[in-house]
C-alpha cells in the first residue's frame, strides 16, 4: 500500500490548498455581497433624488414625453417601484453572503449552506421576473405624472433579463448538485 500512501500526500496537499482558496475567495465574496447590497440601495436612492427628469423619462421608455418636472412624491413612488426587483436581488445577495460566510468557515456541504445558495438563485430569478413588470408600472407612473391626459405603458424584456434567468437556473442546478454532494459527504463521514 506504499504507492497509495505516497500518492495521497500530494492529493491531500492539493485539497488543502483548494480549500484555502475556497475559504479566502468566499470571505472576499461575502464582503462584496454586503457592500454591493448597500451600494445598490444607496445608488438607487441617489438616482431617484438627483437624476434630471428628462433622463428618468428617457430611461423609462418615455423619451418623447413633455419634460414636466417630477415632484418629490412621484420620485419617491418611482424609487419604491424600482426597489421591488432590487429588493429581491438584495435578498439574494444577502443569502449569497450567508452561503459564502459558511464556505469561508469551512462549512461547505451542509443543507443550510445549500439552502442559502438556492435562495440566491430564486431571488435572482424573482428579480429578473419582476423587472419587466416594474418597468411597465414605472412607465405608467411617470407618464401619468408628466403627460397631459396621456398614459404610456412600456413593457421591455432585454437580454439582461434572459441572462439573469439562465444564471439563476444554473445556480439552482449547482445547488441541487451540491445536495447530492452533501449526501455523499454525509455517507463518507460514516466511514472510518
Partner 1 sequence: MPIRVRLAVMLAERQVKSKDLAEYVGITEANLSLLKQGKVKGVRFETIERICEFLKCQPGDLLRYEQGPPPDKEGPPFS
Binding site for partner 1 (CB under 8 A): 1, 4-5, 187, 190-192
CB 67 within 8 A of CB 146: yes
Furthest-apart CA atoms within the chain: distance in Å: 86
Q: How far is the CB of 23 from partner 1 (least distance, A)?
A: 24
Q: How far is the CB of 9 from partner 1 (least distance, A)?
A: 12
Nearer to partner 1, 50 or 187 (CB): 187
Q: How far is the CB of 190 from partner 1 (least distance, A)?
A: 4
φ, ψ of residue 35 in degrees (nearest 5)? -60, -45
Q: How far is the CB of 125 from partner 1 (least distance, A)?
A: 37
What is d(CA 58, CA 140) in angstroms, rounded to the nearest whole number?
13
Q: How far is the CB of 191 from partner 1 (least distance, A)?
A: 4
Nearer to partner 1, 12 or 106 (CB): 12
Torsion of CA 13, 19, 25, 31, to 10 degrees: -140
- CA neighbor of 141 nearest in space, from 55, 66, 74: 74
Nearer to partner 1, 6 or 150 (CB): 6
Nearer to partner 1, 1 or 50 (CB): 1
What is d(CA 139, CA 84) in angstroms, rounded to the nearest whole number?
15
Nearer to partner 1, 50 or 192 (CB): 192
CB 94 within 8 A of CB 33: yes
Amino acid at each position: 500500500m506504499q504507492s497509495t500512501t505516497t500518492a495521497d500526500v500530494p492529493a491531500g496537499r492539493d485539497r488543502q490548498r483548494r480549500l484555502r482558496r475556497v475559504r479566502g475567495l468566499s470571505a472576499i465574496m461575502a464582503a462584496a455581497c454586503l457592500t454591493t447590497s448597500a451600494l445598490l440601495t444607496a445608488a438607487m436612492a441617489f438616482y431617484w433624488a438627483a437624476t434630471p427628469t428628462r433622463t428618468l423619462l428617457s430611461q423609462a421608455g418615455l423619451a418623447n414625453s413633455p419634460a414636466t418636472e417630477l415632484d418629490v412624491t412621484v420620485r419617491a413612488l418611482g424609487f419604491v417601484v424600482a426597489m421591488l426587483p432590487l429588493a429581491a436581488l438584495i435578498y439574494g445577495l444577502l443569502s449569497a453572503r450567508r452561503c459564502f460566510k459558511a464556505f469561508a468557515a469551512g462549512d461547505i456541504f451542509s443543507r443550510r449552506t445549500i439552502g442559502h445558495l438556492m435562495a440566491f438563485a430564486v431571488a435572482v430569478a424573482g428579480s429578473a421576473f419582476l423587472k419587466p413588470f416594474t418597468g411597465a408600472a414605472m412607465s405608467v407612473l411617470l407618464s401619468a405624472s408628466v403627460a397631459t391626459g396621456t398614459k404610456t405603458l412600456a413593457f421591455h424584456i432585454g437580454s439582461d433579463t434572459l441572462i439573469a434567468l439562465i444564471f439563476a437556473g444554473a445556480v439552482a442546478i449547482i445547488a441541487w448538485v451540491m445536495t447530492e454532494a452533501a449526501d455523499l459527504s454525509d455517507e463518507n463521514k460514516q466511514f472510518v
